[in-house]
Each structure stands twice: as C-alpha cells, then as structure tokens.
Chain A
C-alpha cells in the first residue's frame, strides 16, 4: 500500500509547489484548522500510518511492519475524521487550554511515480508540543507521502510516519504529523 516506486526527481517548479503545499499544511495544523485540513488537503482514500518499529539486530531478517501489523496510528479517512471531530466536541479536557504544536519540515525530496498526477514525497520533521506551564515534547522522524495533484490542489493519499525514538517521550501522540 505504501510501496509506491519513486521515479525521477521532480522539476524545480513542482518541488517549489510541493514545498509550499507542505508549509500551508503545517500552518493549518498549527492553527488547529483540522476540519479545513481534512476537507481540503486529504484524499478520501487516505491511509495515514505510524508503524511500531522494534530495535532489532542488523542480521534479523524478519519483514518490515505492514499496515496489518501493530501500529501507533493506522487510520483510513473515516478514522482520521473521527480524530478531527473529537477535537471539536468541546469535551477534550486535555486540549483546553490548547497545546501549542509546531512543525519544522526539512529535506523535502519529491519524485514522479508511474501515475502522472501522483508524487512520492519524503521529508524529515521535528514536531514540538508545549502544554500547560512547562510541559514540552519533541518528536523527530521522517514522512513518506503520496501526494495526488487535483484541480483543487494537492491531496494527501498516503502518509507513513516513522518516529526515530523507540520509546515515545510523551503522554500520547494525539498529534497530526
């Protein structure tokens, strides 16, 4: 599902467009415009996935995790929508006062695929969350996306999020990456 072959690198123009799209996405999420993000940035066939990755010896030949295995996030569109809708119920006590989440994206690399309107895009991220008086957490990792170009702009069709930390140093990961 996430193994879509990356072909040639995209042009400077497409790279610029994709980068701008990502910054817009980050801004929406930072401003907690989750509904807008879902409606205008996310494709209906999204698979939004954060696998659990063990620390294994280099010689260990067991397969990499698939979306059928244990995961941290493993959402289709409806499930992602529930995540978003929950934040709008008014009874998410831990988000009132709201957290401050910030996304730092870098190393954006975009590639063509077999389909003209689809691109594989990889990037690195540092996501920080500050809450309450002193609470802060930081998550470092990489994203591999499938972006689809539509008349309404790019839509996110796949997102695989890999955290570098084996043990998450945060009370939860109810964050959109």
Chain B
C-alpha cells in the first residue's frame, strides 16, 4: 500500500527515503509520472529532413522519434507489433522505413505497417495491416525542443510547461533564432534513483560550494567565491529560486551565467550583444535572468544548466539506476567558433568526464544505495531550507524563493510528485490548478521585502 501523504509530508517539507528505493513506488512512477508527463525526446535540429530519426527512451520504453515524409514529427514505441523485437537498433540516422530484424516486417516513418513478408501465401492475405501500426505517442515541440507523452488526456505541452515556458523563453526565444542542442549525447550509467539528480538540478544551489569546492577553487571567476562556503556572501541578494505548476523549477545566480566556462570570449560577447534584445522582446525581468547561471529541471527528468549549458535527461532503469544522456545547449545565432567554444567548455565541466560532474556521482549513488538498509529508509529526508522566505513575486510567475540557495523548488518538485502520484487522472490534477501554491503560505514575502528595500533606498 502506497500512502503518498505519508511518503511526502508537505507541511514538514520531508520525504520518506523509501521514494529512492521501493520497487512498488517506482512502478507507480512509471505508470503515473513517466506514463503521463511530457518527456524530452530530441531537438528538432537533429530531425531536419524527412526520414531523420533518433532513438530514445520514455521511462523504460524504447521510442523512435522521426521526421515523417509530410514534414510532421512522429514518435512510436520501438517494438514490432508481431513478436515485439526492435524495429530500429541505431542511435540516429536517416531512413525511409524501419525493418524488424526478426521476420522482416516493414514500417513507414509514420509507424504504419507497410510490408509483411509472405503476406499473401502464409497469412492468406487475411492480415489487416492497418490495425498493426507501431503504437504512436503524442509529439509536441516547444521552441524546437521535442517532447513525447503517452497520455492522451494530458494537457498540451505548452500548458504542461505553463509558467516554466515563460522562463524558458528567456533563452529559447531571447536571442535571435533561439537555441539548439549539440549531440550526439554522451551516455553513462549512474546507480542512483532518477529523482536524485532531478531534485539536485531543480533546486540545489546549496551543494555547489561544498561538493564542487575543488573545481570552483581551480576555476576562480564569478563562482570561485562559493568554493568551500568560505566567502561571506549576501546570498539573498545574489539570485532567486523558482518553482512553477507541475513541479518544474530552477535557481538563478545573477550575472554568473558563464562563470564555469574557462574560455568564453565568444560566449561573453554574444550574451552582451544580445541582452538588450531580450529586454526589448521580453521585458526587463527576463533580461535580468538572461545572463544568470540557471540550474533547472523540467519535471520529471529533464535537467539543464543554462550558462554552463549542459542539457541532460535522466532515464530510469529501475529504482536504483539511471542512464544519463548529455547534450550541449548553444544559441543558433552564435558563430561556429563560439558554438565550438561552448561545446568544449560544457563538456569539460559537466560531460561524463567533467571536472564538476565528477563531484556529484558519489553523492547521488550513496543517497540511493544507503536506503537498502531497512532502518535507514524508515527515516525521512529534509528540504525545509528557506520555508516562509518565498512567495508570489510582482515580476516573476510561480513561487519565488529568497535566494538561489534554498529548497523552494525541491518543495515544489515533491509537492507535484505527491500530487501526480496520488491523482487518478489528469482531470484530478487540473482540478487543483488554482490551489497548487497554497502550501507556500507567505503570500506577502516579496511585497514586504521589496517594500523594505524601496524604503531603504535600495534597488
């Protein structure tokens, strides 16, 4: 029996350690989270020409996403409707059809079954091929980022992202033609629960100074002061943290966007030149965020760092293991040299061999593995940092936390986690659209703080 109210205590800001370990909870996650949410599949720049395909995963299901001959994007389950073998075994490519290696069934780029060997003689021409298409998956794009969803009742992607889309536009729309991803993705196995990196990216500015002390010490620059938490910094003045409907969230360190990049002349110049355009197009609040360093998770399992520009998907492989797929974010309008510079720097920091990435793995593995102990997992995890120091903001949608170091977006992530795990359907989730932020009761936090600031003559 899974009691979500017990596993996630909204009032106390705790989560049972069982959520990182138990098989029955994981099975429900596959059904209710990975089976219902929009999951990142690919970027359209990988799928420009008809027949361009990319194979990926949604939860533990193998999925093909492909540009159909009519120009639309299609996605379907990579499993033959005859006996279940894969119909595509390459990572990516261009093809006119997908042919099963087992008996040679042939599917078109819309997933329809177009040829069956010996159909006339052995099926006696009685096989209704129109009923044997590969199971199709909803596909929608947001600013070129392609997502898939198994649930017909789920809201449109743009509504699933909601206010999070408003923030994403800062860099997806802000500069010229928007952003794209550079791949192919590097892939690695991390023996942790999928939520550990998802929660880390959604809202863990706290670990940066300590976990990454060595790399920050070496790098110096804007973020060097965080190393070892030694510097006396006014954290409430250096950035904010935000959670939005459906569990998405992020933290921003102001004006520190490219702080992790060692070689960054091109990127710095690009940001400087494009920032005024962001203000014109989207207004000053988002222009303020544009040159910040963002740590983000699009619920449930797609995380990225804007600034450092690594873009990751955490594919679950059981409750205790994930596959990490890593791309690099670049702006389409960057010149080739700048794109190359960004790719090289992003890989150096947060690639599989990255100087910062390497710090995180142990924490994530041990935070999972320790729960093998039954007395260990009988306890709770805590995420109360900054409770009450958060609320609605006049300029920024969602719930805004006082600093980039705080656990506002952890709380938002697990609030929605509890909601979607408890809900029977998307209708039940929609019914709570107006109340979702009730668990952040300090509605006047920003009103009071901004008023106090204005009174003292601050900006």
Judge whether B90 is part of the interface by a CB distance below 8 angstroms: yes
Give the nearest-CB partner of A75 in chain B. Answer: B348
Give the nearest-CB partner of B187 in chain A. Answer: A167
Task: Map CB proximity to A onto B41-72 as digits: 1 under 8 Å, 0 otherwise.
Answer: 00000000000000000000000000000000
List the A side residues contacting B90 at CB < 8 Å: 54-57, 60
List the B side residues contacting A92 at CB < 8 Å: 214, 359
List the B side residues contacting A85 at CB < 8 Å: 218
List the A side residues contacting B262 at CB < 8 Å: 78-79, 82
B92 touches A89 (CB 8 A): no
Give the nearest-CB partner of B351 in chain A. Answer: A72
A54 touches B213 (CB 8 A): no
Q: Which residues 32-53 in A have Cβ within 8 Å of B in the complex?
A: 50, 52
Judge whether B191 is part of the interface by a CB distance below 8 angstroms: yes
A94 touches B358 (CB 8 A): yes
Judge whether B290 is part of the interface by a CB distance below 8 angstroms: no
Judge whether A83 is part of the interface by a CB distance below 8 angstroms: yes
On whether A72 and B358 interact (CB within 8 A), knowing A57-B90, A60-B93, A167-B189, the answer reads no
Task: Say what secondary structure dominates the interface of chain A.
Answer: loop
B191 touches A50 (CB 8 A): no
Q: How many residues of A contact B (CB 8 A)?
A: 39
Taking a contact as CB atoms closer than 8 A, the residue among A62, A86, A166 that contacts B218 in the complex is A86
List the A side residues contacting B327 at CB < 8 Å: 70
A56 touches B91 (CB 8 A): yes
Judge whether B287 is part of the interface by a CB distance below 8 angstroms: no
Which of the 9-residue segments A100-108, A152-160, A169-177 touches chain B?
Answer: A169-177
Give the nearest-CB partner of A169 in chain B. Answer: B189
Judge whether B354 is part of the interface by a CB distance below 8 angstroms: yes
Cα A56 to Cα B91 with chains together (Å):
6
Judge whether A127 is part of the interface by a CB distance below 8 angstroms: no
List the B side residues contacting A52 at CB < 8 Å: 183-186
Judge whether A123 is part of the interface by a CB distance below 8 angstroms: no
List the B side residues contacting A75 at CB < 8 Å: 348
List the A side residues contacting B351 at CB < 8 Å: 71-73
List the B side residues contacting A68 at CB < 8 Å: 340, 343
List the B side residues contacting A57 at CB < 8 Å: 90, 93, 95
List the A side residues contacting B214 at CB < 8 Å: 86-87, 89-92
List the B side residues contacting A89 at CB < 8 Å: 213-214, 217-218
Taking a contact as CB atoms closer than 8 A, the residue among B92, B190, B215 that contacts A86 in the complex is B215
B92 touches A91 (CB 8 A): no
B362 touches A94 (CB 8 A): yes
Cα A94 to Cα B357 with chains together (Å):
11
B91 touches A54 (CB 8 A): yes
Cα A177 to Cα B362 with chains together (Å):
21
Give the nearest-CB partner of A176 in chain B. Answer: B353
Q: Which residues 78-126 in A have Cβ within 8 Å of B in the complex?
A: 78-79, 82-83, 85-87, 89-94
B323 touches A167 (CB 8 A): yes
Whole-angstrom distance from the CB of B454 to the nearest CB of chain A?
A: 41
Cα A75 to Cα B263 with chains together (Å):
12
A171 touches B218 (CB 8 A): no
Q: Which residues 121-177 in A have Cβ within 8 Å of B in the complex?
A: 166-175
Give the nearest-CB partner of A177 in chain B. Answer: B353
List the B side residues contacting A62 at CB < 8 Å: 93
Besides the contacts A89-B213, A171-B189, A171-B358, what 9 more A-B pairs have beta carbons closer than 8 Å? A50-B353, A70-B183, A71-B351, A72-B352, A73-B351, A86-B218, A92-B359, A94-B358, A172-B353
Q: Give the A-binding residues of B (Cβ under 8 A).
A: 89-95, 182-191, 211, 213-215, 217-218, 227-228, 262, 323, 327-328, 340, 343-344, 347-348, 351-355, 357-359, 361-362, 364-365
Q: Give the B-binding residues of A (Cβ under 8 A).
A: 50, 52, 54-57, 60, 62, 68-75, 78-79, 82-83, 85-87, 89-94, 166-175
Q: List 17 A-B contacts (CB under 8 A).
A: A54-B184, A57-B95, A70-B328, A70-B347, A72-B186, A72-B351, A72-B353, A74-B347, A79-B348, A86-B214, A91-B213, A167-B189, A167-B323, A170-B188, A171-B365, A172-B353, A174-B353
Top 3 closest A-B pairs, CB basis? A171-B361, A173-B353, A168-B188
